[in-house]
Structure 1
């Protein structure tokens, strides 16, 4: 049975790589083993559920980390609501001077930089020649206003590849005074 499953996986990978025309030409010669098909379908369902659980666990870990920081800095913002109502890949927390204090695991996945590399730097290290000075200036002005905002900027990964990054910045306040910024970031096409 183990060889049959291995053969089915290999066949599945091969068939998925075919064009529709190529598949139509060979589909009559494919032999179906319903037992292996049921096992593969069950595995697919399990894998989808596993990926969902991993993403949910990662979100809960991010919420937990930021809620602990919220207690320390006495922010009034609802961190859980911010994270659950907005899409993001990476989270960056900075102080009022834009020095990075914390990033999530998604930051490393998106940028290629290790988490500890980003700490105590400003997000400027992600910018390069393709980053617009106009957009940088607009971001600085919006930060000074102290309101949430979205912007799109060209950033650079560790391997120097450029990517369009949508940032959604939330000022975090203590007694109506902005003390930190939380950036929710995601790569866009």
Structure 2
């Protein structure tokens, strides 16, 4: 048996969100057929918005943490430019020798390795048998040039499964010729 409130229109959802005062203002314009307040039967309307809020919250936390490092090392970087249109799953901050200083939660989700495990290693621990030698050489060359670059490399997750990783690496220059790198990484098809 169908529930008599199973079908809701967009107008129903809109009306249920109004305050009494707002509703009184438009009551005469909408007619008597639309006057049916009922509880929302599904969170489907809200869930995509909720997921977007979670995603934005994670980005905000990442930006905050990178800002803390930027202040600590006096990096000459504009955070808005760094994260403008940034599409990443994982963030990695390394020193000039590529020793990992910090990774975000997305790194653990993408690779299966804990943050604690990654710290003080180099990203090379993610490489393996099928990691292309030419890709590794290309990345080393770009790092020596101290310029922003994007490349794709095959890495390995903690469970030994292979994944294709798009990496954008940005050199970060600070006081006293201090050099660090941030890698914005995304698993790609």
Classify the secondary structure of the residue corresponding to 2:94. Answer: strand
CA 1:111–1:52 in structure 2 vs 1: closer, same or farther (change >3 Å)?
same
Structure 1 residue runs of 4 or more that deviate by more than 3 Å after TM superposition: 31-34, 36-40, 175-178
1:82, distance to aligned residue in structure 2 (A): 1.2
C-alpha distance after superposition, 1:3-62 (max 9, x if no partner): xxxxxxxxxxxxxxxxxxxxxxxxxxxx6546345435x511211111111110100000
Gaps of 5+ in 2: 9-39
Classify the secondary structure of the residue corresponding to 1:183. Answer: strand
CA distance in 2: counterparts of 1:132 and 1:79, whole angstroms: 32
Number of matched pairs:
158
Larger Rg: 2
Partner of 1:51: 51
More helix by share: 1
Aligned residues: CA RMSD: 1.7
Partner of 1:6: none
Classify the secondary structure of the residue corresponding to 1:77. Answer: coil
Q: What's the TM-score once normalised by structure 2's chain length?
A: 0.79
The answer to whether 1:35 aligns with 2:5 is yes
Work out whether residues 172 and 180 of structure 2, in 8 Å CA contact, stay in contact via their aligned partners in 1.
yes
CA distance in 2: counterparts of 1:88 and 1:188, whole angstroms: 10
CA 1:37–1:93 in structure 2 vs 1: closer, same or farther (change >3 Å)?
farther
Q: What's the TM-score once normalised by structure 1's chain length?
A: 0.79
